[in-house]
Every structure is written in structure tokens, then in C-alpha cells.
Amino acid sequence: MTATTTSPVVWVQVMQALVARELVDGFGLPERQAAALLGLVPSSVSQYLSGKRLGPRLARYLDNEAARRIARSTAQRLMEEPGGPPVVLEAAIALGELYDQPTRKRRAGAGSSIRPALRREAPRWLRNRIVGEQNAVAECMRLAQRSRDELTRALFRQIASDSLRHAEIVASLAAYLDRGVTSSVPTGITREDVEHLIEREHEAEENSGNDLGPELGGVMRILWNSMVADEQKHERVLQELLQAGLVAGVRSPPRRTKGTS
């Protein structure tokens, strides 16, 4: 197989898909049980099995004996001693190191402009962070399954979604650091695009009426406050993006939605 450079996030997804197939097709587990072992929601396993997620990228490894061997041993480990995402992460790292030759060369420090101390320690720091986030995903999904009401389930699913996104962000940062890149500028968007999005966010807040937080209690208040915190974070991130080297350009016309003239 030709060596390619692949994002760490993709290696994790490929291994999740391969292990899901081994658990369901090889060991005969129900999709829901396979999802629990992997720390995923059942719909993700269904998409991996149907080929809707990853598609052609996954097909390269389905008939590859080395990849299948790693996936098979990982599935066996999960069944014998469930370890969830950290076990899959280890397998994904092994798969990436097996096929991603350019990445291995970069890890040796070729052409890196990062401080030597950071270059030595960053991979371990980032790997530990990914493992921690993946552990949080598995624990949140377990608690969501134990919850007896939809609002509590929604709360833990939200935390799980955030942790999974954090793991993906850290993996992407690791890929850039691997190449010796410590700073990047946004591409493909303009200041006008971001300013327009900020306007939309403000309009949504203004049209949502009064703050319901003080009127709610318990989990309902927690969920409402989490949305408010997200909006505040979006505002801060977008403002920082405006200062990150965006160029001016012509704003794309808004898409016409059904029912508008």
C-alpha cells in the first residue's frame, strides 16, 4: 500500500470502523453492544457498517490483512477487558505508524522549527489529552444510558459531544505540530463572512426572547445555561478569528430558503 499522510483523526475513525466490523460481523455482537464497547453512539456504528461514514477511505483497509489483524486483536481486547476509546486509540496509532511513512519522518524532527523541548514533550502531552477526552466520552455515554429522562441524557450527550470534538481538535493540532507548524492563518473565508455570522448569532439571541434561565430549575436550568455559555464562547471565538489575519472580500449572497421570494 502506498504511504500517505493522514490526519490522526482519520486514523481513529478508520480503526473505530474496522473494530466495529470485527465486533459485529466477526464476533456476532449486536450493534448497540459494539457501540458501548467502542464508546460510540449506535448510529455511528451503523454508519461505519453501512459505509456511509468514511466511504472509499475505509474500503482501502477492509481487505488489508495487516489492518484487519490490528482491528481483530483490538476487538478481542475490548471483549475480554473493555477499555473503550483508549484501546482503540492505541490501535489507531499503530495503524498510522504502519502506513503513514511521511509522518514518521516528521516525528524524527526533519525540518521542524519547534523548540526541541516542545517537540520532545508535545506528542506525549497531546496523546494523554486525547486519551483523557476519549475516556470522558465513554463515561458520559455510559451515564447517558443509565439516565431515565431525556433531559439528563441530553446533558451527558452534550458533554460527550464536546469531549469528542476536543479530542479531534487535539489530534489535528498534533498533526500540525508534527510538521513543525506552530501557527496558522484561516483560509477560504473573509472578514465579511465572519462579520455576517456574528450578525446572525446576534439576531438569533434577540429573537429568542427573555432569558429563561432564572425561571427554570434543575437539569433544565443547567441545559439552558450551557447554551448561553456556548453562545458567549462563539462570540469570543469569532472576534478572535477577525484578528487572526482574515482578508477582506466580497460577502457571498445569502442562500435563498424555501418559501422566500
SS (H, E, C) 80-122: HCCCCHHHHHHHHHHHHHHHCHHHHHHHCCCCCCCCHHHHHHH
CA 25, chain centre distance (Å):
25
With cut-offs at 50, 70 and 90, classify the pLDDT of residue 247: low
Reported as a single tens digit per residue, the pLDDT across 49-85 is 887 877 777 777 887 888 888 889 989 888 887 665 5
Q: What type of residue is 208?
A: S
pTM of the predicted structure, to 2 decimals: 0.53
Whole-number Å distance between alpha carbons of 34 and 183: 39
- Domain positions in the chain: 8-178, 191-242
